[in-house]
Chain A
Amino acid sequence: MRSLALIGAVLALLAAVPAVVTSNVVLNFLVFALLIAVVGQGWNILGGYGGQYSFGHAVFFGTGAYVTAILQARYGVNAWLGLCAGIAGGALVGAGIGVLGFRAGIKGPYFALLTLAFAEVFRIISSVSPITGAGVGTLLKLDLRPEAFQFQSRVPFYWIAVGFVGVSLFIAHAIENSRFGAYLMAVRENEDAARALGVDATRVKLAAMTLSGAMTAAAGCLYVQYFLFVDAGIAYGPWISIEALLAPIVGGVGTVLGPLLGAVVVRAFGEATKLVTGDAPGLDLVIYGVVLVAVVAFAPRGIAGLLSRWMSAPPVERQRG
């Protein structure tokens, strides 16, 4: 109950921001951070709770983005329907890669490489095939009506992003307090022991990957609606795979609020480096690397881990639901 109240408080706080802040720069920053928070939560479900580290979550993000964009730009489908289709597309790709990988018993670093390979293959295909607009990308027509999922001001979109973050937080919370979550964490900790206790490990991982794919794709759809443009590098490029894993790792893997915390911090770092280095290409990645090393070395459970360590006195005991 306490954690639900905490989630509610965080969401209320986020929702109240536009009442205080009117700066478009800040809202832009926050919308982007919230998108990354949804992507990070998607990664967290599979990687944080399930222990299956993916290096290629771009494959879901990009699928969500492209499905939404192509349906609108080429087939005139309504944007909201496009959003639903994009989420379904992400789930489908997740299930597909999951069936191939988990059925074959691919684990650990091999799973990471498998996802990385899929993301790259999708990127290359989308950069040459006509339906995605190849090298030019896909541009959405400006149509500032709520029915078209476009808005005059940034505030409604900001609230929608908060809404998506809220859904992702509640899903993570529900997972933590369910049998599915218990099974998922059991698989993360020790797959053989889990199987001996009646857990169908393959199915549990598959379900996690499908859900993870859907959630990450939802962020991809939002991205496209916000920026009205997508190309192969944005959709399937390694940048989003990196953000996807960096946010939860910095914020705290396998925690409900970790991805959100991490997304805000990582984005703030990203923007700060851009200010300091003046867009020197690749330098933000170097900074990310340093942050990652520091987190893994000094705070293996991320910011959320540090916070809960400060708040609860005995370090061995863990707070419960």
Chain B
Amino acid sequence: MAEALLRVEHVSKHFGGLLAVNDASFVAEKGGITAVIGPNGAGKTTLFSIISGFQRPSAGRVIYEDADITFHAPHKLARLGIARTFQIVQPFAGLTVRENIAVGAHLSCRSRRGALDVADEVARAVDLHPQVDRLAATLTVAGRKRLELARALALAPRVLLLDEVLAGLNPSEVRDMIPVIRSVADRGVTIVMIEHVMQAVMQLAERIYVLSEGRIIAAGTPNEIGGDARVVEAYLGRGAARRMTDRAPRD
């Protein structure tokens, strides 16, 4: 088993009386693609916000390379090599695509020219290069999702947290995006992804954690998760789960 790069240990978060994340733990292995899936409102994005420093957990901790990073500010985490994208895309609307990506590139490159050059390179890697001179505000949804990815990649991160980069894309756009994510992982970047698009998760992830009502209810390989009754129940309800297990012997 590969070495763990990022571990989330018993993290909980409550907003007043609402328990959004309840004692969740998971491990992201170095160089692998780990997925966190779950129905709407399961607490996935809250969990990501905690890992990336935008929210403080009520309990638990986040360990990165054996160091406790639980209460680090987002910009410090970015400097340590943890990058994230946002589910609701957050482009710098008034800047061009190149300028957007250059903000990430500036982390390791002081000079403006150098950062813009890196931005061009990254844009090519995610197929955004025909649009580098356009204002980010003029991009399509698919373009903005790519821009989110490109900006995070420009940080040259070691861990990349992808918050539903495929949500809102049509099937052909999803098909185009999957190899892009794959190639990022192939370059040795550890990926943790939250995703709704099951087809993509099944294709990409090596290990899947299922979050439901704030709890991790199942973990395993894509095959194990696909057949897990608890997972089907969380997504489709108890009745559907029973019908599926009833039918199972006949399959």
Contact = CB atoms under 8 A, between A and B. Distances in A.
Report if A and B associate in a common complex: yes
Interface of A: 177-179, 182-183, 185-186, 188-190, 192-201, 316-318, 320-321
B155 A182 contact: no
Most B Cβ at <10 Å: residue of A179, A194, A195, A198: A198
Contact of A196 (B83, B91, B106): B83
Given A182-B106, A192-B54, A192-B86, A200 B75 contact: yes
A318 B115 CA distance: 18
A189 B94 CA distance: 7
Contacts of B78: 195-198
Q: Report which residue of A182, A192, A194, A196 has the largest number of chain B beta carbons within 10 angstroms of its beta carbon.
A: A196
B46 interface: no
A179 B113 CA distance: 10
Contact of B133 (A182, A198, A200, A317): A317
A71 B91 CA distance: 48
B86 A182 contact: no
Contact of B115 (A182, A194, A201): A182
A190 B92 contact: yes
- What size tier do the contact residues of chain B reach? 35 or more
B43 interface: no
Contacts of B154: 197
B204 to A, nearest CB: 22
B134 A190 contact: no
Interface string B74-94: 110011000110100011111
Nearest to A176: B112
Given A179-B110, A192-B54, A196-B83, A201 B75 contact: yes
Given A182-B112, A182-B115, A197-B107, A189 B135 contact: no
B234 interface: no
Nearest to A190: B90
Interface in B133-167: 133-135, 138, 151-152, 154-155
Contacts of A188: 94
Contacts of A198: 75, 78-79, 104, 106-107, 155
Contacts of B92: 185-186, 189-190, 193-194
Given A179-B110, A179-B115, A193 B135 contact: no
Given A199-B75, A316-B134, A178 B112 contact: yes
29 contacts: A177-B112, A179-B111, A185-B95, A186-B92, A186-B95, A188-B94, A189-B91, A189-B92, A190-B91, A194-B103, A195-B74, A195-B75, A196-B54, A196-B78, A196-B84, A196-B152, A197-B78, A197-B83, A197-B103, A198-B75, A198-B106, A198-B155, A199-B103, A200-B73, A200-B75, A316-B134, A316-B138, A317-B134, A318-B135
Contact of A182 (B83, B93, B103): B103
Contacts of B74: 192, 195-196
B25 to A, nearest CB: 24
A237 B90 CA distance: 39
A254 to B, nearest CB: 8
Contacts of A179: 106, 110-112, 115
B73 A195 contact: yes
Nearest to B94: A189
B234 to A, nearest CB: 29
Given A317-B134, A318-B96, A193 B86 contact: yes
Contacts of B103: 182-183, 186, 194, 197, 199
B70 interface: no
Contacts of B52: 196
Contacts of B90: 190, 192-193, 196
